[in-house]
Structure 1
Amino acid sequence: MRIKQIKIDFHVTTEIKRFVYVYLIEMEESCVLIDSGVAGSEAIIEKAMVENGHHPSDIKGVFLTHAHPDHIGTANYFREKYGAKVYASEGERAWIENIDLQFSERPIPNFYHLAGQSTVVDQVVQDGDKVYLSDDTYIEVIGTPGHCADEVSYRIGDVVFIGDVVPVRGDIPIFIHPDETRHSLSVLEGLSGIKKYYPAWDQTYSPKMMKEKIENAKEIVNVLETIVLDLDHGQELFVLTEQVCEKLHRSAWKANPLFTKTIACCRRKEK
């Protein structure tokens, strides 16, 4: 088995440039993708396959960690053109199969340009499932929600693909549930026998680096939640978001609706 990291650059707006990693898992006669990048990145993925001695029709499966646009953008393309099966969790399925629903519930700039088309999920996966790629190679599904409702990570032997589970220092923290995020970080921390961790938007982590990233991520979540709870006195959400950004010295973040949702999930819950 070989792993090819494919970098996909894209723009959320003309001012905001981002990237995401798609992973090509190569076996002797077939391949699978972990996530699928944004719409329009089909040629980049196909080129990487050809350069590595494969034809795009060798892709037998697209394993989606979650439903956000930069992860699902080419899934329908590879399903329709090459017959690849699409795998995803039940909690992410509705947004994958109906991107209009996703946009109505999570509108972001340039959404349709990034998300592409809705696609059928051929096989729903959940924590603990094993999907065999060959007689002796399988993908183990690990539930890691928090960044979104039902994100999953995928383990193959001594490597694991962790999507967007781990918030990193210096970048905008995006999650919808602090407790689930902390739990998922603990799940990843507790995995044994892992030699490499592959996130969707950062460098590959060694076990030592992963331990450091997890500690940093826990601190990010804890500090942000503490600040929100300290400042939250029932004011309008946009006001609270501005106050949090001022406290963090991150004024640019207040314009991002996804960070506003992060603030909302950290607010004091009514009893």
Structure 2
Amino acid sequence: MKLCNGIHQIRIDFQVTPQVKRYVYVYLIESKYCYLIDTGVAGSETILAEYMKSIGRDLSEIKGIFLTHAHPDHIGGAARLKELTGCRIYASSGEQRWIEDIDLQYQERPIPNFYQLTGNSSVQVDRVLHDGDIIQLEEQLHLEAISTSGHSQDDFSFFLQEKEAVFTGDAIPVPEDIPIYINSDKSIESLKRLAELSVPLFCPAWDQAYVGQAGRQVIERAVEFIQMLEQNMADLQQEYPGASEYTHLLCEKIGRPELKQHPLFQRTVRSHMHTQKAV
């Protein structure tokens, strides 16, 4: 779907398990050449090629892939796309080791169907990015790397300066969906940083794109949701200081019983437990 001149949102559907279906949005930046923000899961090159053909472009025109973080639904197609196009891969230093060694990622962060989602393929990062780096894609096209960690260890968002659009990966939790992050404090810091950007277009990976104030309102709701979880965790730890099933207790307390068995939401709960212990 074309969002505006030169920016396209492409949906990649995938199965986490036979019972759990998810999707992720990949963004195509179209100029003299083409650039991707994330790649989706293994096999996504077919969907991307079909979409590019529909707008009169070709997969071979992709010159760069910018990975917001290392999770399988964002890097799964990277190795194959690099093989097909010869493009360069850009990612943060903190996510590099997981991108270049998927066995290490699985060891440290196992999820169902991991190797199918990644295509059992690691990929070499050609340029390691740091907060504030500005990459000149073309003469009049610049992409700024912005550290927005919390969902993963070293997530980055990317600000396309000439188009005034920011690609946020999974940095913005969707309150109605499954909130997934490993550090609640850093997630809130990242959300506040995104909210301060004067941009008219927010492009998240697991939600629709938002224009202007609507994007800032989504960010505000996400901050409130994380703070609500944190307060409920604090209350639980006072009431049940020796409890080991905080996920179940929290899901009942906030009225979201469907999250009890979700392994990634359990990581979210643990991030709040660590915060409370630190206090």
TM class, shorter-length: over 0.9
Q: Give 1:11-50 correspondences, 5 Å limit.
A: 11-28=15-32, 30-50=33-53
1:222-247 alpha-carbon deviations (Å, 9 max, x no partner): 0001111211244354x111111111
Q: Distance in 2 between matches of 1:234 and 1:115?
A: 39
TM-score by length of 1: 0.96
SS at match of 1:223: helix
Distance 2:23 2:204 in 1: 12
- Equivalent position of 1:119 in the other structure: 123
Paired with 2:233 and 2:102, the residues of 1 have a C-alpha distance of 31
1:64 aligned residue (45, 67, 83): 67
* Cα distance in 2 between the residues matched to 1:218 and 1:210: 13
SS class of match (1:171)? coil
| CA–CA distance in structure 2, aligned partners of residues 249 and 4 of structure 1 | 36
Instruction: Describe the SS at the equivalent of 2:65.
Output: strand
Cα distance in 1, alignment partners of residues 126 and 258 from structure 2: 40
Match of 2:165 among 159, 170, 178: 159
Aligned equivalents of 1:127, 1:3: Cα separation in 2: 23
Match of 1:172 among 155, 175, 178: 178
Distance 2:128 2:190 in 1: 20
Give the distance between the partners of 2:93 and 2:85, measured in 1 at CA.
Answer: 24
- Deviation per CA, 1:38-75: give whole Å up to 9, x if none: 01111000111111111211100110000001000111
Aligned: 1:74 with 2:80: no
Q: Show CA shifts across 1:117-159 (max 9, x none).
A: 1100110011100111111211011110011111000011211
Following the alignment from structure 1 to structure 2, what is the Cα–Cα distance between the partners of residues 110 and 236? 30
- List structure 1 runs of 4+ shifted beyond 3 angstroms: 233-237
Whole-Å Cα distance in 2 between the matches of residues 123 and 31 of structure 1? Answer: 17
Identity of aligned residues (%): 47
Amino acid corresponding to residue 235 of structure 1 in structure 2:
G
- Determine the structure 1 residue equivalent to 2:270: 264
User: What residue identity is the alignment partner of 2:277?
Assistant: K
Matches of 1:236 and 1:256 in 2, distance apart?
19
Instruction: Indicate whether 1:110 and 2:110 are aligned.
Output: no
Amino acid at match of 2:215: M
* TM-score (normalised: structure 2): 0.93
Alpha-carbon distance in structure 1 between the residues aligned to 2:133 and 2:220: 28
Look up the match of 2:257.
251
Matched, 1:130 2:137: no
Q: Unaligned 5+ residue runs, structure 2?
A: none
What secondary structure does 2:98 align onto?
A: helix
Alpha carbons of 1:214 and 1:270: their partners in 2 closer, same or farther (altered >3 Å)?
closer
Does 1:148 find its partner at 2:152? yes
Other structure's SS at 1:166 match: coil
Q: Show the counterpart of 1:100.
A: 103
Q: Which residue identity is paired with 1:254?
A: K
Q: Distance in 1 between matches of 2:135 and 2:93?
A: 15
Structure 1 unaligned segments of length 5 or more: list them. Answer: none
Selected match of 2:233 from 228, 237, 247: 228
What CA deviation, in whole Å up to 9, does each residue of 1:93-115 have, x standing for no partner?
11111111111111111111112
Per-residue CA deviation, residues 200-241 of structure 1 (Å, 9 max, x unaligned), is 01111011111210110011100001111211244354x111
User: Which residue number corresponds to residue 203 of structure 1?
Assistant: 208
Q: Separation in 1 of the partners of 2:77 and 2:208?
A: 22
